[in-house]
Chains A and B, each alone.
Chain A
Amino acid sequence: MDKKVSTYTEKKGLAQMLKGGVIMDVVTPEHARIAEEAGAVAVMALERVPADIRADGGVARMSDPGMILEIMDAVSIPVMAKCRIGHFVEAQILEAIGVDYIDESEVLTPADEAHHIYKHDFKVPFVCGCRNLGEALRRIGEGAAMIRTKGEAGTGDVVEAVRHARSVLGEIRRLQSLPAEECMAYAKELGAPYELVMEVRKLGRLPVVNFAAGGIATPADAALMMQLGVDGVFVGSGIFKSGDPAKRAAAIVKAVTHFSDPYILAEVSRNLGEPMVGRQISSLSDEEKLAGRGW
């Protein structure tokens, strides 16, 4: 029997298994176990959550592989890790230690201001952030097997995640209403590969799984993103920067499963303790915004 390893079907397939689930940022093996116990479908191993990266300033890089390996040992669910935009050697290192997914992330300081990683060359799958359909399809063109909205990480303000999800989903609806002869000009306007534009038009969705990320802090935020039409959510600072991480994590998991049942949402939203202290996006200067990183 012929055995084909790490095909694009395999890469996209793992993301399909994560659908309807919550991927949580964790900085220690203990956090990772709390996340798994709460029902997370995967964890993102990193040294600092986005809220701390934002507060500390300086250059944010790939985490120490030793620390990522400890988290991989601590849990049975998939472990993701972040590399800098364009830093293909950080990605090679993450592949070498065997992480299950790489997030080429705007939350870290970009290593290349013009180019992203050519992701088709890797055996490990990649997830990338986007603000709109053009950006999503450029990343998929480079080989991303999963897409997430960028939102504005480390703020606890969901407004940018909503803006980015509405952009992507709205542009897909627009594309489906266009006659074929207008699609080339629309591809040009989006800055997206034509073949992928035509594929999206046929499917009525992205050809890969599409999660929300960046600013989700409550069960209601998570359910809002699900009702808008994403496949699942990433929660970064929102859990372990809150008063009762285990309880909030479990509540967000339930909110994503029962996203269209307001009675269950009401029940899981009760008595969760203090949410993370947020920062309104409108109070951030342009240099403080991470979502603009990516080309």
Chain B
Amino acid sequence: MKIGVLALQGDFLEHLDVLRRIGVETAEVRLPEQLHGLDGLIIPGGESTTFGNLAQHYGLMEPLRQFGQEHAIWGTCAGAIFLSKDVRRSQPLLGLMDIVVERNAFGRQVASFETDLDVPALRQVDPSGAPFPAIFIRAPLIEAVQGEAQVLAQLDDGRIVAAQQGRLLATSFHPELTSDDRFHRYFLRLIA
């Protein structure tokens, strides 16, 4: 199994480190031809406007949409924004997931926070059901989950911070910044 990480900008090295730690072959993706031979793709944290700008310029938008029709893709934070179909402002989006996202929903950096999150789906990779240490950085919120998309995790107040639609996964937070690899292993199960 070979997993690519979109390496236009952002914390792609952190994702690559986790994948290598759990024994997966990896590749960095900056150009369309680098998608060939991959079984799945992670879109990391970073700035979604920068991803959109570079993906458009290097002709990645359509190839990424095609890839998402047939393969698993997981977006963390900016990656989740990029996967969504609507962010209520004008910027390039892949529109693969039937979710509406609000950018910087918690405010500016001084409001960034960590919390323990209950993610029932992670029991599939670890029966302990221990809470997941979620790191939110100028984080987006999943405002609405529509069509085939489903809620994967919510804050105490019910606001949605993770969603899944078939083999597509979106998280508002950053599992790649923790030493907990359950989300990465959960993503691999969507491919196998």
Contact = CB atoms under 8 A, between A and B. Distances in A.
Contacts of A42: 47
A9 B176 CA distance: 12
A56 to B, nearest CB: 31
A98 B108 contact: yes
Q: Chain B interface mostly helix, strand, loop or mixed?
A: loop
A21 B47 contact: yes
Contacts of A257: 7-9, 30, 54
A78 B109 contact: yes
A20 B11 CA distance: 8
Contacts of B57: 250, 254
Interface stretch (A32-40, A161-169, A186-194, A217-225): A32-40
A72 B108 CA distance: 10
A143 B2 CA distance: 39
Interface in A1-40: 1-7, 9-10, 13-14, 16-21, 36-40
Given A10-B135, A13-B137, A20-B12, A4 B115 contact: yes
B148 interface: no
Report the contact-size class of chain A (Cβ under 8 Å from the partner). 35 or more
A227 interface: no
Interface residues of B, number: 42
A71 B78 CA distance: 21
Nearest to B46: A17
A38 B111 CA distance: 27
Interface string B1-16: 0000001111111100
B45 A16 contact: yes
B112 A6 contact: yes
A236 interface: no
Contacts of B116: 1-2
Contact of A19 (B13, B103, B109, B155): B13
B50 interface: yes
A5 B7 CA distance: 29
A257 to B, nearest CB: 5
B49 A20 contact: no
A124 B110 contact: yes
Contact of B177 (A16, A37, A98, A100): A16
B156 A1 contact: yes
Interface string B106-130: 0111111111110000000000000
A280 interface: no
B104 interface: yes
Nearest to B44: A17
Contacts of A125: 109
The 4 closest A-B pairs by CB, nearest first: A39-B53, A100-B109, A10-B112, A20-B9
Given A16-B45, A124-B110, 7 more contacts: A16-B177, A17-B46, A39-B9, A41-B46, A42-B47, A99-B109, A254-B57
Interface of A: 1-7, 9-10, 13-14, 16-21, 36-42, 72, 76-78, 95, 98-101, 123-125, 250, 253-254, 256-258
Interface of B: 7-14, 30, 45-47, 49-50, 53-54, 57, 77-78, 89, 91, 103-104, 107-117, 131, 135, 137-138, 155-156, 174, 177
15 contacts: A5-B111, A9-B114, A9-B177, A14-B109, A17-B10, A17-B46, A21-B50, A39-B9, A40-B50, A41-B50, A77-B49, A100-B108, A101-B109, A125-B109, A257-B8
